[in-house]
């Protein structure tokens, strides 16, 4: 097999990114099992999710930038080794404290997304870049769905620790193949890492995401929540100032102001709010016993199977997006994907009396996810200079995560704000929550309409490493800086 087989390179990238996406959601359905097995409280067990979220948010853009500077393959292999260590530590964790530390280590794997997109842009033929990015996005989206579907059967047949032992084997094999077959790109950014920018970025992300994930327990009006939100706003302003003045910023704000980039990021924020919140609350809805007046009393495994249509649909539509993007462009696909998400959530708010209805809605939403994920990545990659690919796609992933935290927090307020005597939420809490998420996805579709239309129906800026940059690219960035 040739040393630089793009098929094998893609397989390595898809495996690594897919495993990380799966790790995001794999543990969520098993949290009650983890809580019981490690003899801890529910509030402590939720830190297994929170620690992972915070870690991924911090490391995704930082290591994306490091890859732009020192080499994407080198950084990719290092990140895979860290994920391997995190999975091994989690599988062996004797208590909840070690498991939480292991999840922090696993969160470093968030950098696999921007690094993979950057390697595709650098090493694949320009004509194959949009389709390959769409296919990788489909794998990433499907990976999150696989986690939800597979968690129940794995825990039932084996043990929750196998949720980490299985990735240990997969990631170890991926590291060995990556070392031999993934090429190292000669395309490098100039300068170094702005550690001040990295520190400030980490600080405001943690200050924002921590209260969003914990406010349900702390209370939205608590001193901790309000104090952290204020700190996030101040730190964000200081970060913007520091990045604007830096000669080698971590995130080039001129690039972030490009019309195709900021409009795509706004759509990502809003669509992420709908998608991640649905993943968080739909399993709880179908697991609610019928005595509450709704729900189906489904087991963890059965509730995962109701998400299976979403998993299949998002993978198929993501692959299809790669075929359609060169013909109709990424903007219409993003708009359509967000609109399908809004339609599915609107139906769900009104139409959830039978399990088949939930399965149909799940499939419809999956179609939207596949189209939206693939088109977002293509819009970002095709709009930024090659040496900014890692940082820009890392920030886009982060913005989706921030949107997901906001969507989950808002939905949580509606679902748990008023409880029955049994302690279960009222049906109206879920219907209002699903309706809110439908509005957010509709807003994402409207934001997608603001994305500039690519010339000639194709994204620009997908030149291979070593090719001369398109003349308009530096001019566009400079113009953004003057604006």
At 256-267, the pLDDT tens digits run 889 999 999 999
pLDDT classification of 454: cutoffs 50, 70, 90 = low
Cα–Cα nearest to 72, from 84, 80, 64: 64
DSSP 144-191: HHHHHHHHHHHHHHS-TTHHHHHHHHHHHHHHHHHHHHSPPPS---SS
Q: Indicate if the pLDDT at residue 435 is higher than 70.
A: yes
Q: For position 446, what pLDDT does the model report?
A: 96
Q: For position 231, what pLDDT does the model report?
A: 96
Average the pLDDT over each of 248-252, 382-386, 455-459 and give the range with the smallest value: 455-459
User: Of 358 and 318, which is predicted with more confidence?
Assistant: 358
Find out whether 259 and 472 touch, Cβ atoms under 8 Å: no
- What is residue 409's three-state secondary structure? helix
Residue 69, number of CB atoms within 10 A of its CB: 18
Q: For position 240, what pLDDT does the model report?
A: 92
Task: State percent of the chain over pLDDT 90.
Answer: 35
**Alpha-carbon distance values, 15 to 107, 215, 253 (Å):** 16, 35, 31
453 CB burial (10 A radius; 0-12, 13-18, 19+): exposed
Q: For position 69, what pLDDT does the model report?
A: 84
Look up tokens 């940059």; give the residue: 469
Q: For position 366, what pLDDT does the model report?
A: 92
Taking only the tens place, the pLDDT of each residue in 137-161 is 888 878 877 887 888 888 888 888 9
Residue 420 tokens, joined:
């029955």
Taking only the tens place, the pLDDT of each residue in 373-428 is 889 988 998 888 877 887 788 888 889 888 888 888 888 888 887 889 888 899 99
Q: For position 474, what pLDDT does the model report?
A: 33
User: Of 192 and 246, which is predicted with more confidence?
Assistant: 246
- What is residue 233's three-state secondary structure? helix
Mean pLDDT (the chain, rounded): 85
Residue 320 tokens, joined:
């299809």
Cα–Cα nearest to 402, from 236, 253, 234: 236
**Alpha-carbon distance values, 204 to 118, 214, 251 (Å):** 26, 16, 14
Q: Indicate if the pLDDT at residue 344 is higher than 90.
A: yes
Ordered by where they begin, the domains of the chain are 6-193+248-482 (1.20.1250.20), 194-247 (no CATH)
| 366: CB partners within 8 A, 6+ apart | 145, 309, 310, 311, 312, 313, 314, 317
Average the pLDDT over each of 52-61, 285-294, 357-366 and give the range with the smallest value: 52-61
**Section 429-433 average pLDDT:** 94
Helix (DSSP H) and strand (DSSP E) numbers for the chain? 20, 0
Beta pairing partners, 419: 425
pLDDT classification of 2: cutoffs 50, 70, 90 = very low
Q: For position 482, what pLDDT does the model report?
A: 35
pLDDT classification of 4: cutoffs 50, 70, 90 = low
Q: Indicate if the pLDDT at residue 47 is higher than 70.
A: yes
Q: For position 81, what pLDDT does the model report?
A: 96
How far is residue 109's CA from residue 394's CA, in Å, rounded to a whole number? 11
**Section 431-451 average pLDDT:** 96
**Alpha-carbon distance values, 183 to 70, 77, 186, 187 (Å):** 14, 11, 9, 12
Q: Indicate if the pLDDT at residue 101 is higher than 50.
A: yes
Q: Which long-range contacts (CB under 8 A, 24 or more apart) does 480-483 make?
A: 480/254, 480/255, 480/257, 480/258, 481/254, 481/257, 483/257
User: Of 35 and 467, which is predicted with more confidence?
Assistant: 35
Q: For position 444, what pLDDT does the model report?
A: 97
- What is residue 419's three-state secondary structure? strand
DSSP 245-272: H-SS-SS-HHHHTSHHHHHHHHHHHHHH
Find out whether 8 and 174 touch, Cβ atoms under 8 Å: no
Phi and psi angles of residue 382, each rounded to the nearest 5 degrees, phi first: -80, 0
| 46: CB partners within 8 A, 6+ apart | 31, 213
Phi and psi angles of residue 425, each rounded to the nearest 5 degrees, phi first: -65, 155
How far is residue 39's CA from residue 36's CA, in Å, rounded to a whole number? 5
Cα–Cα nearest to 25, from 161, 110, 174, 149: 149
Cα–Cα nearest to 277, from 356, 365, 387: 365
Find out whether 362 and 306 touch, Cβ atoms under 8 Å: yes
Look up tokens 């190292």; give the residue: 184
- DSSP state letter for 297: -
């Amino acid at each position: 097999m040739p040393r630089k087989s793009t098929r094998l390179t893609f397989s390595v990238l898809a495996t690594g990114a897919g495993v990380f996406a799966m790790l995001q959601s794999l543990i969520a359905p098993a949290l009650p099992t983890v809580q019981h097995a490690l003899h801890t409280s529910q509030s402590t067990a939720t830190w297994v999710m929170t620690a992972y979220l915070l870690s991924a948010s911090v490391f995704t853009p930082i290591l994306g930038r490091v890859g732009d500077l020192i080499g994407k393959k080198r950084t990719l292999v290092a990140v895979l080794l860290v994920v391997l260590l995190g999975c091994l530590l989690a599988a062996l964790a004797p208590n909840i404290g070690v498991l939480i530390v292991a999840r922090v280590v696993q969160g470093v794997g968030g950098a696999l997304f921007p690094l993979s997109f950057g390697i595709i842009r650098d090493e694949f033929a320009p004509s194959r870049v949009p389709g390959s990015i769409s296919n990788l996005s489909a794998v990433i989206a499907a990976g999150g769905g696989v986690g939800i579907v597979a968690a129940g059967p794995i825990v039932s047949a084996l043990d929750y620790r196998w949720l980490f032992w299985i990735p240990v084997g997969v990631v170890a094999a991926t590291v060995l193949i990556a070392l031999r077959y993934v090429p190292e790109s000669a395309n490098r950014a100039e300068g170094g890492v702005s550690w001040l920018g990295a520190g400030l970025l980490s600080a405001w992300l943690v200050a924002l995401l921590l209260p969003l994930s914990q406010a349900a327990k702390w209370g939205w009006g608590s001193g901790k929540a309000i104090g952290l939100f204020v700190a996030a706003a101040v730190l964000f302003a200081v970060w913007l100032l520091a990045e604007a003045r830096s000669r080698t910023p971590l995130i080039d704000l001129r690039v972030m102001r490009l019309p195709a980039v900021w409009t795509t990021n706004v759509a990502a924020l809003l669509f992420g709010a709908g998608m991640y919140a649905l993943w968080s609350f739909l399993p709880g809805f179908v697991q609610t016993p019928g005595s509450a007046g709704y729900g189906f009393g489904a087991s963890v495994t059965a509730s995962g199977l109701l998400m299976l249509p979403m998993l299949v649909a998002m993978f198929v539509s993501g692959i299809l997006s790669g075929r359609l993007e060169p013909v109709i462009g990424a903007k219409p696909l993003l708009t359509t994907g967000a609109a399908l998400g809004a339609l599915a959530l609107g139906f769900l708010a009104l139409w959830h009396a039978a399990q088949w209805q939930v399965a149909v809605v799940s499939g419809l939403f999956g179609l939207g996810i596949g189209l939206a994920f693939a088109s977002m990545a293509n819009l970002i990659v095709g709009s930024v200079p090659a040496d900014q690919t890692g940082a820009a796609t890392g920030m886009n992933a982060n913005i989706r995560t921030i949107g997901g935290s906001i969507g989950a927090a808002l939905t949580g307020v509606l679902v748990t704000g008023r409880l029955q005597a049994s302690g279960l939420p009222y049906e109206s809490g879920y219907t209002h929550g699903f309706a809110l998420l439908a509005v957010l996805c509709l807003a994402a579709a409207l934001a997608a309409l603001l994305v500039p239309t690519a010339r000639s129906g194709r994204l620009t800026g997908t030149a291979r490493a070593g090719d001369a940059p398109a003349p308009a690219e530096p001019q566009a960035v400079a113009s953004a800086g003057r604006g």
